[in-house]
Amino acid sequence: MNTFNNTALIKNKATDLGFDYCGIARAVPLDDDARRLETWLNKGLNGTMAYMENHFELRINPLKLVPGAKSVITLLLNYYPGVKQNAGNPKVSAYALGDDYHEIIKKKLNLLLQEIKEHIGDISGRGFVDSAPVLERSWAQRSGLGWIGKNGNLINKQSGSFFFIATLITDLELEYDTPLVKDFCGTCTKCIEACPTGAIADNKVVDGSKCISYYTIELKDMLIPGAMKGKFDNWMFGCDTCQDVCPWNRFSKPNREPGFTPYPELLNFTTQDWEELTEESFKKIFRHSPLKRAKFAGIKRNLNFLEGS
């Protein structure tokens, strides 16, 4: 089979597995991104997320992850929910309303790689979902799937930004999509103005150490800085403010992935329900949920902080 047919097969299989978009870029070192990432890290904008400083060479060079890599396949999976949380309840980011996306997407990636090997041959490839040292948004842009917005999110012109990004690096030569070089944010600054903690600068630099998602998920200290009091806008886990105000997300449509069906508890739990929740019940209800990343103690800390604001 030639590169054209192989590319068509991969994109068709990606669609069959439920991915919403699939783009492909040539595997090359990301020199410009390396400089930006290094500057961002040197300014300490990663806060206590020291893991982002690890494996720097792997992050910027796909050939370090897959020897002989020729192609980087980027896949987008919509997670926009069809229903909203009840107003006034502690808020949870839309990506965390259903089952853990890592588990769902890893399964799809493994199936895609299996399909490629069955139909094309014994190629080498590795799939990555968020937790590995891969600059997913950069590859998505290089694959023509969108541009990086002022809020740091990948924005797709047809469907907005409520997407998970997965990456499959392979030594298979394929047809490559045209990178999207135009920025369609224009003069809009809605995300900058709406950010409750002022984490978004006007040069597409997001201060991770100021982001509500950082404080409610990544920060492992049991105390959230007092300077953040009153700024969380009732976000208990994550934050979607910069996406909720983005004009491009008027094109978002409810996802079709059964695993992302929101937990009834996350839609309906009041502050009192959360306060009365035991650790045993938390572990039982949310054993497949992204909330387990913050752990029971972290959720309680976040709730206490919101109440004291």
33 carries an active-site annotation: no
What are the phi and psi torsion angles at 71 (to 5°)?
-135, 145
Tokens of 11: 């994109």
Which residues are bridge partners to 182 per DSSP? none
User: Which of 190, 107, 196, 208 lies closest to 149 in space, CA to CA?
Assistant: 190
Catalytic residue among 130, 183, 221, 273: 130
User: Which of 156, 1, 169, 189 lies closest to 77 in space, CA to CA?
Assistant: 156
Tokens of 110: 């493994």
Which residues are bridge partners to 257 per DSSP? none
Stated as kind and residue range, the H or E segment containing 55 is none
Whole-number Å distance between alpha carbons of 299 and 78: 26
Whole-number Å distance between alpha carbons of 13 and 175: 16
Residues with a known catalytic role: 130
